[in-house]
């Protein structure tokens, strides 16, 4: 008996990478799966309907149940159709996993408006759109007396939450927005029996991360590969299971480590009764320690790069920004 027996799950971006591994794992755990993926390239161009179909074929060959959907999450009506696909094919929808993403890695000074918008449209607007249409279905079911457990698992990234990666202004911004959306949705949708959580993979080897420093190495010949995208799937499945009590949580996943994030936390403060002057702020805040973004980047990537010095990190950043 699997942990997801009887559950119907819609997984976006499920044709490759983390989404594909989640689809395969969910099906193995007994879920009926809608595999959504338009089969686009990393930057969102092109399209291949065979990408989603291939994952469906693999699930069915293993004895599972799945159907394909090739709509884009950035398309408002497409998001509605993929929710309808789940209901039409399997009679209901219990779980949404928002995994779809595209990337346009350019320095901020070179990133164009359309390139920024495209990334945000898929990652942030797409997460909202699919969740919104699912919420409409779940509200109707709840008001009709259905008290089944429902769950949304959003996908953020270390880029945007913990790792300030240069050239990812659009991707990091969208992922930070997804984490914020998670907490709001958890508060709003709880009244309908819907739990909303977020997984934030870091250092997972996918098409989107192969050019990140430290990610291009060969995987181990045998044993556990901490960078394999399959490491994320069990965490998503746990959050999707009806027995899971968690909601409003953002869980970072890095290999075999799962960290419960606590969002923005209040740090040191300065206070006065009345308005500040610039000189007073300069004196008081000048005595408060500042978290240097270079230190954060060194902590995130230093282990993989074997470097942590500011000059070496700046050299890496310059090399990334020079790729136009």
Task: Name residue, tokens 């291009």.
Answer: 216
Cβ atoms of 48 and 70 closer than 8 Å: no
Residues 6+ apart with CB under 8 A from 69: 10, 34, 35, 36, 52, 81, 82, 85
CB atoms within 10 A of CB 176: 17
Nearest residue to 44 via CA among 189, 207, 200: 207
Q: Which DSSP letter does residue 276 get? A: P
- Show contacts of 121-124: CB within 8 Å, 24+ apart: 121/74, 122/44, 122/72, 122/73, 122/74, 122/174, 123/171, 123/174, 123/175, 123/177, 123/178, 124/173, 124/174, 124/177, 124/178, 124/181
Q: Can you tell me the distance from the alpha carbon of 46 to that of 44, in angstroms, rounded to the nearest whole number?
A: 7
Cβ atoms of 99 and 63 closer than 8 Å: no
Q: Can you tell me the distance from the alpha carbon of 243 to that of 106, in angstroms, rounded to the nearest whole number?
A: 42
Q: Can you tell me the distance from the alpha carbon of 190 to that of 230, in angstroms, rounded to the nearest whole number?
A: 29
Cα dihedral 48, 51, 52, 57 sign: positive
Q: Can you tell me the distance from the alpha carbon of 291 to that of 57, in angstroms, rounded to the nearest whole number?
A: 49
Helical residues (DSSP H) of 190-309, grouped into ranges:
233-240, 278-286, 293-305
The residues assigned a catalytic role are 171
Cβ atoms of 302 and 203 closer than 8 Å: no
């Amino acid at each position: 008996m699997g942990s997801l027996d009887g559950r119907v799950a819609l997984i976006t971006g499920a044709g490759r990478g983390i989404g594909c591994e989640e689809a395969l794992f969910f099906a193995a755990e007994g879920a009926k799966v809608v595999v959504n993926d338009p089969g686009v390239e990393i930057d969102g161009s092109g399209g291949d309907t065979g990408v989603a179909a291939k994952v469906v074929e693999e699930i069915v060959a293993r004895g599972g149940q799945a159907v394909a959907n090739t709509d884009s999450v950035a398309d408002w009506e497409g998001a509605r159709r993929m929710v309808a696909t789940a209901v039409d094919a399997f009679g209901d929808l219990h779980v949404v996993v928002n995994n779809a993403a595209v990337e346009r890695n350019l320095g901020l000074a070179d990133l164009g408006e359309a390139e920024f918008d495209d990334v945000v449209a898929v990652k942030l607007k797409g997460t909202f759109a699919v969740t919104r249409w699912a919420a409409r279905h779940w509200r109707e079911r709840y008001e009709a007396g259905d008290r089944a457990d429902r769950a949304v698992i959003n996908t953020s990234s270390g880029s945007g939450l913990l790792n300030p990666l240069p050239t990812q202004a659009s991707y990091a911004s969208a992922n930070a927005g997804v984490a914020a959306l998670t907490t709001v949705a958890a508060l709003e949708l709880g009244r309908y029996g819907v739990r909303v959580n977020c997984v934030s993979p870091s250092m997972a080897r996918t098409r989107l991360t192969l050019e990140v420093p430290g990610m291009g190495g060969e995987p181990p010949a045998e044993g556990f590969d901490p960078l394999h995208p399959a490491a994320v799937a069990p965490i998503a499945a746990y959050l999707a299971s009806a027995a899971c009590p968690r909601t409003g949580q953002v869980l970072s996943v890095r290999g075999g480590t799962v960290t419960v994030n606590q969002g923005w936390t209040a740090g040191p403060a300065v206070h006065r009764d009345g308005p500040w002057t610039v000189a007073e702020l300069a004196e008081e805040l000048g005595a408060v320690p500042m978290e240097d973004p270079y230190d954060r980047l060194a902590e995130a990537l230093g282990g993989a790069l074997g470097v942590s010095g500011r000059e070496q990190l700046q050299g890496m950043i310059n090399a990334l920004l020079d790729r136009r």
